[in-house]
Structure 1
Amino acid sequence: MTKQLDIVFLGLSLSSSWGNGHATTFRGLLKGLHELGHRVTFLEREVPWYANHRDLRDPDFCALRYYETTAELQRDYARCLEQADIVVIGSFVPEGRVVIDIVASLCKGRFCFYDIDTPVTVAQLSADDCDYLSWRQIPYFDVYFSFTGGPMLGRLVEDFGARRAEPLYCSVDPERHHRTGDPIRWDLGYLGTYSADRQATLNALLLEPARHMRDRRFVVAGSQYPSDIIWPDNVERIEHLPPADHAAFYNRQRYTLNVTRSSMIAAGWSPSVRLFEAAACGTPIISDRWPGLDSFFPASAIHTAGETDDVVEILFGESERTRLAMARRARERVLASHTGAARAREFVAALTQPRAAALDFDIGSAA
């Protein structure tokens, strides 16, 4: 596929990064596809919580369109979907099972799924509790792109019937995430929306170190944290940080903390976009531990921590020379392999392979 392609994405949100990481992931990939010369359209469900927190209203790398109902999607965008060379549906799309059936009935090109939440999806499918994808729909897709790599790819094929499963990790935009020259303000920071299954790790690896190190400064940026959390006095809180401010935020930290959701830890090979953003900004990373981390960052490019004392030792004991050398190695790794342009090339390359044999299925009502 060397020609200019018409590619349509239907995803959770491109316009708003409020309370979700999908927007950043889509923005990097779509910008990369645009830079390769492809025409991209993104169809987003109009919902008030994103409409009220939009931080990208008029992207210059794709056409952004909205629909309010599945009936409107089918009526107003049928031609767009029929004529596309590739149509990609993302995870957590509202009424996703209905949307998939509509698009499957219209799509004449390659039809793909992009799962930015693979461990969550697999758990929900296994419990018959997934409202954006049903088990019977998985064979519809020419390629099942997964945020999670490693053994999960084999499971998607062998246990769930995917024709092909390919990793498509998140990425970073080096034009937005780079060294800014901002002075250091915090010794350790964290950027992430509240998640109950991350909170214990955040407590152990940031809040407890803050209580042990009263002369050091810490920061947590992100929305939806419960009001009953007791924040130490030396932990600054930022309720929401739009993507345009991420680079400056990372550059103001001596170290940044990465905390992974429990389902992603269990699956492994599920790097957060925050890892790549921080590394591109030249900020040293302290991460929790999970299988596959070393396939993205060797030990010389990242610190890992399992308990409070690990973080305290790093903040107290590491020389400035060692800190900066580690950050440099991580940055070089990310700029070489984990940019939006790199992901776009991987996406297109995956679709140059011969189409997998179609399986027999009926396109019926969502189940």
Structure 2
Amino acid sequence: MDIAFFGSSLVSAYWNGAATYYRGIVRALHERGHRVRFYEPDAYGRQQHRDIPDPDWAEVIVYPGEGDDHALRMVDHARGADLVVKASGVGVFDALLERAVLDLQGRSTRVVFWDVDAPATLDRIGHDASDPFRALVPRYDLVLTYGGGDPVVRAYEGFGAQVCVPIYNALDPTTHHPVDADPRFDGDLGFLGNRLPDREARVEEFFLRAAAQLPERRFLLGGSGWADKPMPANVSYLGHVYTADHNAFNRTPRTVLNVSRESMARYGFSPATRVFEAAGAAACLITDAWEGIELFLEPGSEVLVARDGDEVAAHVERTDAATARRIGEAAYRRVLAEHTYAHRAAQLEALLEGHAARAPLAESVA
């Protein structure tokens, strides 16, 4: 299958939380014999902060981040693909691409909208009846999301989606895996995440408040945008942590933290890439509470769950090194058995084959 994929960036995780997800899915599809061309704009400094060179498992096509004509030429370049994917959150040209890729639908080409932030998209179109994407939803052959479960599926179906299916985040064990500890990341709790409006208050609660309660413990904060944020003295701010250091960052502290964005926590069933990166490194993960966590990791034995900063602090205080190691190793076994991108790619193949068998192409919907 020849796949044309329009996304934010495959080669840079800089201000691009979907990078791990894209890389895992695309690599797994390549390993199953599919050809992927990934179209990404030169925007937000991502090309200047690449984490990886162009991979041998995808053709990366970078186009200028200004000028509609460049984006339209990329759409025309994708003509003839068996599957065209428009991901959410490209960051530039989103509305144009969402409309233009639908012109590629044909008897041998299906067009999919792949939403890597379904809560944000659904909240936006739910509050604005004039949002141009709202009228386009029924025209896509398929809507995929990287999380959200039944609440997201029902919401998309309410906007007329023909079929909506979550393809959850997962682990790429060739990229995220256990490594030796790195003294740079010694500490009691590490958190890695960019500063975003609908995450900041939750980071204050689950991370900074917990740090303030345990002044004798060392807390590590990695990610972009936090430099001017007031922090307790026991928090070490590391700035942007490149992908090559994620395994060591996850593996070295006694525990690591996942903090969902507010919208993801509200919809539930939305494990961040961070969850699987940490589990893949056999880290002892503490996550904020959200509905559906038990579908991915078993609370208490494979992950620790906290409802607020007080519970995060309690987990950090009472989880000794042996317990942390046992929880991390159990999580690692679970994700290898059930939650790799190879599992997700197989799910996508089965979905496309089944969808082709039971539903006509969307070329008849216009």
TM-score by length of 2: 0.91
- 2:89 maps to which residue? 92
Partner of 1:140: 139
Comparing 210-219 and 82-91, the one that deviates more: 210-219
**2:171 aligned with 1:172, yes or no?**
yes
Q: Quick check: 1:55 aligned with 2:56?
A: no
Mapped partners of 1:319, 1:259: distance in 2: 22
| Alignment match, 2:162 | 163
Match of 2:316 in 1: 315
Give the direction of change, closer, same or farther, for the CA distance of 1:77–1:61 in structure 2 (3 Å limit): same
8 A Cα contact 2:219 2:236, kept in partner:
yes
Residues 1:192 and 2:193 are matched in the alignment: yes
Contact 1:82–1:107 (8 Å) recurs in 2: no
CA distance in structure 2 between the aligned counterparts of 1:130 and 1:232, rounded to whole angstroms: 44
Q: 1:158 to 1:307 in 2, by over 3 A?
A: closer
Which AA in structure 2 matches 1:188? Answer: L
> Please, which runs of 5 or more residues in structure 2 have no aligned partner?
none
- Taking structure 1 as reference, are residues 258 and 73 closer, same or farther at Cα in structure 2, changes over 3 Å only? same
CA contact (8 A) 1:81 1:107 kept: no
Paired AA for residue 20 in structure 2? T
2:360 pairs with 351, 357, 362, which one? 357
Mapped contact 2:256–2:284 kept (Cα < 8 A):
yes
The alignment status of 1:298 with 2:298, answered yes or no, reads yes
Query: 1:89, CA displacement in angstroms?
Result: 0.6
Taking a change above 3 Å as real, the CA distance of residues 75 and 322 of structure 1, as seen in their structure-2 partners, is closer
Structure 1 residue 220: Cα displacement = 0.4
Pair 1:73–1:325, CA change in 2 (3 A): same
Counterpart residue number, 2:337:
336
CA apart distance, 1:176: 1.8
SS at match of 2:354: coil
Contact 1:281 1:331 in 2 (8 A): yes
- Residue 173 of structure 1 contacts residue 340 of structure 1 at CA under 8 Å; is this kept in 2? yes
Distance, in Å, in 1 between the alignment partners of 2:98 and 2:203 is 36
Q: Which runs of 5+ in 1 are unaligned?
A: 363-367
Aligned residues between the structures: 355
| Amino acid aligned to 1:85 | D
CA gap of 1:241–1:166, structure 2 versus 1, over 3 A, is same
Aligned partners of 1:48, 1:236: CA distance in 2, in Å? 26
Residue 205 (structure 1) shift: 2.6
Alpha-carbon distance in structure 2 between the residues aligned to 1:338 and 1:315: 26
Distance verdict in 2 for CA 1:82–1:242, change over 3 Å: same
In the other structure, the counterpart of 1:365 is none
What secondary structure does 1:219 align onto? strand
Equivalent pair of 1:156/1:162 in contact (CA under 8 Å): no
Distance change >3 Å, CA 76–CA 90, structure 1 → 2? closer
Identity of aligned residues (%): 35
Counterparts of 1:327 and 1:208, CA distance in 2 = 24
Higher relative contact order (CA 8 A, sep 6+): 1
Q: 1:226 to 1:319 in 2, by over 3 A?
A: closer
Cα RMSD for the two superposed structures: 2.0
* Alignment TM-score, normalising by the size of structure 1: 0.90
Question: Contact 2:63–2:71 at 8 Å: present in 1 too?
Answer: yes
Instruction: Give the match for residue 99 of structure 2.
Output: 101
Tell me the CA shift for residue 27 of structure 1: 0.7
Partners of 1:115 and 1:49 in 2: how far apart?
23
